[in-house]
């Protein structure tokens, strides 16, 4: 005989005799989850301090309102704008916080300072204890032969201001044909215009006028004078044959003919022409270049250049003769003193007197250099 004992672990009111559940309705798992979510929404939001105080880390999946924290986002797949990307470390990260770094652009330079500074040429000045200078006669003649080295206009004005006699020397006449290629008549007008340009500066009174016809025997060779070869007389009226004036006919035509033959003709023709003038050159002279050949030929035909010395002797007064007028003009002291008489007579044993004509400042404006002439 078997004894069966049933022990009821539940409330008898929840089940019937057949063991079926007849109690209140049991909630399903989905209903339970939805109810938990509603309860979570009713709870107040936790602050960051409360989260840090709990375990020191923000739990994944938590929301902070409108924005989602980076803990909920996959940083590897996040889209970053180009301006937010960081390619290089900052200056503070690279050099350290103890180093001050400044970033300046070229536009931030002041207007007075150029972006590219110009190159400065440093000028050095050598001071000499002995300021005396000696000018040779050859140097002065070199200046006369190279007018471009001297400001002719300033020299003429200074001579007029100082009441100095002026003489004019026209050299290098071969340039009229060899360089300028001027015809004979045009060459005459070129020389006439040069003399007129010098006379335009003679605006003061009692100033001499430059004229080739004054003070020499060539008064009939300049200006509107014409030479008649039939009668051998110079006249102011141009002949019916239409000949050129006396300067072109008697001066320029012979020069041009010599230049033409020396430059372009054969040796035999040049020898024949020079033989008519009584000049004979060696065979080595005909192998020279054009300019040395012209110089040798002209010196052989016209002789040595004594005209310049004759002009200085006749038109430039001596130092003693010109001393009286110069001392009267520049010396403001007593005219009957010993100093005045020594300067007037150019006495080399008299007191030293210097006429300062120009003061030139030094580059640093510390001193002046005085240029003067002894009287």
Give the pLDDT of residue 156.
80
Give the pLDDT of residue 199.
82
286 — alpha (psi -120 to 50), left (phi > 0) or beta? alpha
- pLDDT, tens digit only, all 375 positions of the chain: 443 333 444 455 666 766 676 767 766 666 666 666 666 555 555 555 444 444 444 444 444 444 444 455 555 677 778 777 878 888 888 888 888 887 766 667 777 777 778 887 766 555 444 445 555 666 666 666 666 656 777 778 878 877 788 888 887 888 888 888 899 999 999 999 888 888 887 665 566 778 887 766 677 888 888 888 777 788 888 877 778 888 998 889 988 998 898 888 888 999 998 999 899 999 898 889 888 898 899 889 888 777 788 888 888 888 888 888 888 888 888 888 889 888 888 888 889 999 888 888 888 888 888 888 887
* Domain residue limits, the chain: 137-315
Closest CA to 191 of 214, 212, 218, 219: 212
Give the pLDDT of residue 66.
44
Please give the DSSP secondary-structure letter assigned to residue 15: B
Q: Which residues of 137-154 are buried (b: 16+ CB within 10 A; e: fewer)?
A: eeeeeeeeeeeeeeeeee
Q: For 227, phi and psi rounded to 5 degrees?
A: -105, 125
Task: Give 35's contacts (C-beta < 8 A, 6+ positions apart).
Answer: 27
First to last CA, the chain: 176
Class of domain 137-315: alpha beta
Give the pLDDT of residue 171.
79
Give the H or E element holding residue 309. helix 307-315
Task: Give 271's contacts (C-beta < 8 A, 6+ positions apart).
Answer: 281
Give the pLDDT of residue 144.
62
119-127 long-range contacts (CB < 8 A, ≥24 apart) are 123/363, 125/362, 125/363
Give the pLDDT of residue 4.
38
Task: Give 286's contacts (C-beta < 8 A, 6+ positions apart).
Answer: 267, 270, 293
Give the pLDDT of residue 317.
87
Q: Are 63 and 51 in contact (CB under 8 A)?
A: no
């Amino acid at each position: 005989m078997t004894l069966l004992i049933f022990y009821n672990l539940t409330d008898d009111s929840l089940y019937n005799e057949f063991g079926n559940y007849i109690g209140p309705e049991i909630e399903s798992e989905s209903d339970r989850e939805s109810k938990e979510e509603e309860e979570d929404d009713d709870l107040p939001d936790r602050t960051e301090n409360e989260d840090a105080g709990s375990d020191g880390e923000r739990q994944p999946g938590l929301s902070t309102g409108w924005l989602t924290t980076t803990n909920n986002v996959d940083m590897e797949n996040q889209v970053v704008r180009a301006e937010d990307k960081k390619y290089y470390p900052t200056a503070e990260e690279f050099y350290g916080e103890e180093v001050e770094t400044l970033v300046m652009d070229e536009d931030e330079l002041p207007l007075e300072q150029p972006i590219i500074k110009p190159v400065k040429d440093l000028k050095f000045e050598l001071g000499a204890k002995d300021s005396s200078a000696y000018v040779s006669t050859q140097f002065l003649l070199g200046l006369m032969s190279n007018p471009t080295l001297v400001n002719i206009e300033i020299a003429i004005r200074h001579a007029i201001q100082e009441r100095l006699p002026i003489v004019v020397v026209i050299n290098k006449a071969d340039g009229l044909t060899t360089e300028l290629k001027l015809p004979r008549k045009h060459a005459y007008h070129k020389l006439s215009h040069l003399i007129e340009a010098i006379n335009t500066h003679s605006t003061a009174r009692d100033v001499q006028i430059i004229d080739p016809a004054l003070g020499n025997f060539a008064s009939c060779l300049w200006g509107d004078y014409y030479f008649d070869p039939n009668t051998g007389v110079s006249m102011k009226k141009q002949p019916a044959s239409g000949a050129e004036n006396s300067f072109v006919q008697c001066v320029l035509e012979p020069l041009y003919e010599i230049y033409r033959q020396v430059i372009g003709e054969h040796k035999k023709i040049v020898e024949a022409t020079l033989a008519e003038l009584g000049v004979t050159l060696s065979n080595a002279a005909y192998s020279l270049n054009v300019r040395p050949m012209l110089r040798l030929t002209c010196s052989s035909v016209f002789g040595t250049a004594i005209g310049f010395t004759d002009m200085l002797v006749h038109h430039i007064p001596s130092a003693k003769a010109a001393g009286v007028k110069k001392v009267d003009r520049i010396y403001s002291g007593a005219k009957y003193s010993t100093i005045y008489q020594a300067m007037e007579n150019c006495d080399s044993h008299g007191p030293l007197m210097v006429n300062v004509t120009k003061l030139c400042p030094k580059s640093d404006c510390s001193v002046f250099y005085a240029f003067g002439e002894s009287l």
